[in-house]
Amino acid sequence: MAPNMSLFSVNAVLILSTDDSRILTKYYSPPHPPAGTPANSTNYPGANPYPSLKDQKAFEKGLLEKTAKQTSDIILYDNRVVVFKMESDVMLYVVGGVDENEILLYSVILALRDSLNILLKSSVDKRTIIENYDLVSLAIDEIVDDGIVLETDPIIVASRVSRPPAQDMASMKGIDLSEQGLLNAWEMVKVKAKERIRDGL
């Protein structure tokens, strides 16, 4: 067993626009440092390497520049293993520690890409991600929580965060929500309640 082995394998999940703007970023740290870690230390396995917004933006800018001309999907950048995928005008990144298993991180990026393709109906671009920000954020939370990989099956992820079917919304269209419709519903509830009370006594 490796001495630095930890459940907290993901340091960050990033969705960045190719025009150098951040769309959605999540940086992770374990909720509790390992036993024996000095107080206020940020140098332990799984710790967030970029605690301030300035550090994060500098890292993201350098990462975009580095991956713009790359042909592979896995690189070593700033002493971190980074796996990435390009979709339309966005870049998806999963960042892990230098000793992290690249196959695990690669399965996370594939799960993210494929679940977004399912949820956004193969329209993974900056505009669609911003319009469906809630679904994208929930999908990331279903895949990774506090840096721990929870699920890598995109079908399961998409089923957990997808919206209710449109047919349920169609059945709501027959409900009269006007003032008179609500008064009618109230009168019907009162009559039914009286009948139940009378039957119960």
pLDDT at residue 49, rounded to an integer: 74
Q: Are 147 and 32 in contact (CB under 8 A)?
A: no
Residue 148 in this model has a pLDDT that exceeds 60:
yes
Residue 171 in this model has a pLDDT that exceeds 60:
no
The model's pLDDT over 85-108, given as tens digits with 9 standing for 90+, comes to 998 889 999 999 888 889 999 999
Residues 175, 23: Cα–Cα separation, whole Å: 39
State phi, psi for 10 to the nearest 5 degrees.
-110, 125
- For 1, the token pair is 């067993």
Q: Is the pLDDT higher at 138 or at 200?
A: 138
Residue 173 in this model has a pLDDT that exceeds 80:
no
DSSP string, 147-191: TEE----HHHHHHHHPPPPHHHHHHGGG---SHHHHHHHHHHHHH
pLDDT at residue 97, rounded to an integer: 85
pLDDT at residue 199, rounded to an integer: 78
Domain ranges of the chain: 10-161, 175-200
pLDDT at residue 95, rounded to an integer: 93
Q: Is the pLDDT higher at 30 or at 62?
A: 62
Strand partners, 26: 13
For residues 45-61, give the mean pLDDT: 83
For residues 25-44, give the mean pLDDT: 73
The candidate with the shortest Cα–Cα distance to 11, out of 85, 90, 74, 105, is 105
SS3 content of the chain, % helix, strand, coil (to 5): 45, 20, 35
Residues 117, 98: Cα–Cα separation, whole Å: 29
DSSP 71: -
pLDDT at residue 163, rounded to an integer: 59
Residue 114 in this model has a pLDDT that exceeds 60:
yes
pLDDT band at 5; cut points 50, 70, 90: low
Mean of the per-residue pLDDT values of the chain: 83
How far from 157 is each of 48, 111, 118, 150, CA to CA, in Å? 25, 8, 10, 10
pLDDT at residue 3, rounded to an integer: 53
pLDDT at residue 12, rounded to an integer: 92
Residue 176 in this model has a pLDDT that exceeds 50:
yes
Residues 57, 23: Cα–Cα separation, whole Å: 12
Report the amino acid identity of residue 77. Answer: Y
Considering the domain 10-161, what is its CATH architecture? 2-Layer Sandwich (3.30)
Q: Are 24 and 133 in contact (CB under 8 A)?
A: yes
pLDDT at residue 46, rounded to an integer: 59
The reported pTM is 0.73
